[in-house]
């Protein structure tokens, strides 16, 4: 990250390993949750801290090794070229390395969210994004868990903000997903029932 960006924040969501210490040694500013608060809460705490520090844009990526930092410049280039206020990575043009279940679920979710947003959203579950912070702060984003990716896209689209997508590498190794198939799926569907008809 430091090869591309001068300032890096890491949100340590109640980890029990050496995440915080190693991130600080590497030069990151670390925000710690004493106990796990959820992905949505962690992201929003991070965005709030970055905005309070005076920044207008934040680039986020998950900490599970599935994103390649060499893809970072493409996000900023798209903002400069198109004026997009939110740019998301798009893995769906090259899904050979993506597990079949994730590929099908992502395709289905992206189709449903595209209909609700009224615009094409080819990859709605990617956590690799560049976002304008004042635009985010003005939106009613409340998601505390994995549904945060869906909610951000829906709210930006409904506010009329330009959303862009850039192709990124697809990296899957032997990491274990933090998503609970039952709990987080039910949570997403509850979120979807509340938000698909809200305008």
Written as one string, the DSSP assignment of 106-164 is HHHHHHHHHHHHTS--S-TT---EEEEHHHHHTS-----STTHHHHHHHHHHHTT--EE
Q: Which of 23-37, 59-73, 85-99 has the highest mean pLDDT?
A: 23-37
State the Cα torsion 102-106-82-153 to the nearest 10°. -120
d(CA 187, CA 179): 11
Span 5-13, average pLDDT: 95
Question: Considering only CA atoms, which of 180, 140, 129, 146 is closest in space to residue 37?
Answer: 146
Alpha helix segments (H runs only) across the chain: 19-25, 39-52, 72-82, 100-117, 133-137, 148-158, 181-195
What is the torsional sign of CA 12, 15, 16, 22?
negative
User: How much is the pLDDT for 51?
Assistant: 97
pTM of the complete model beyond 0.85: yes
Residue recorded with tokens 């099908």: 104
Q: Is the pLDDT of residue 175 over 60?
A: no
Residue 161 reports pLDDT greater than 60: yes
Cβ contacts of 64 within 8 Å, gap of 6 or more: 175, 177, 178
Write out the two tokens for 53.
């520090």
Are 88 and 123 contacting, i.e. CB atoms less than 8 angstroms apart?
A: yes
Answer positive or negative: Cα dihedral of 99, 105, 108, 113: negative
Average pLDDT over residues 139-148: 92
Which pLDDT value is given to residue 88? Answer: 97
At 122 the pLDDT is: 94
**What is the predicted pLDDT for the residue at 123?**
93
pLDDT at 92: 83
């Amino acid at each position: 990250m430091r090869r591309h960006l001068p300032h890096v924040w890491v949100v340590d969501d109640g980890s029990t390993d050496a995440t915080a210490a190693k991130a600080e040694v590497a030069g990151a500013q670390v925000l710690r949750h004493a106990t796990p608060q959820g992905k949505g809460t962690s992201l929003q705490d991070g965005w709030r801290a970055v905005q309070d520090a005076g920044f207008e844009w934040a680039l986020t990526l998950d900490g599970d090794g599935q994103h390649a930092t060499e893809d970072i410049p493409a996000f900023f280039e798209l903002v400069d070229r198109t004026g997009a206020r939110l740019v998301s990575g798009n893995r769906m043009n090259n899904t050979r390395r993506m597990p079949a279940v994730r590929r099908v679920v992502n395709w289905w979710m992206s189709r449903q969210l595209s209909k609700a947003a009224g615009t094409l959203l080819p990859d709605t579950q990617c956590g690799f994004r560049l976002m304008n912070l004042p635009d985010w702060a003005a939106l009613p984003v409340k998601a505390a868990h994995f549904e945060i990716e869906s909610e951000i896209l829906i709210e930006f689209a409904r506010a009329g903000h330009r959303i862009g997508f850039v192709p990124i590498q697809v990296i899957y190794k032997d990491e274990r997903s933090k998503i609970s198939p039952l709990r987080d799926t039910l949570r997403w569907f509850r979120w979807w029932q509340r938000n698909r008809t809200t305008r």
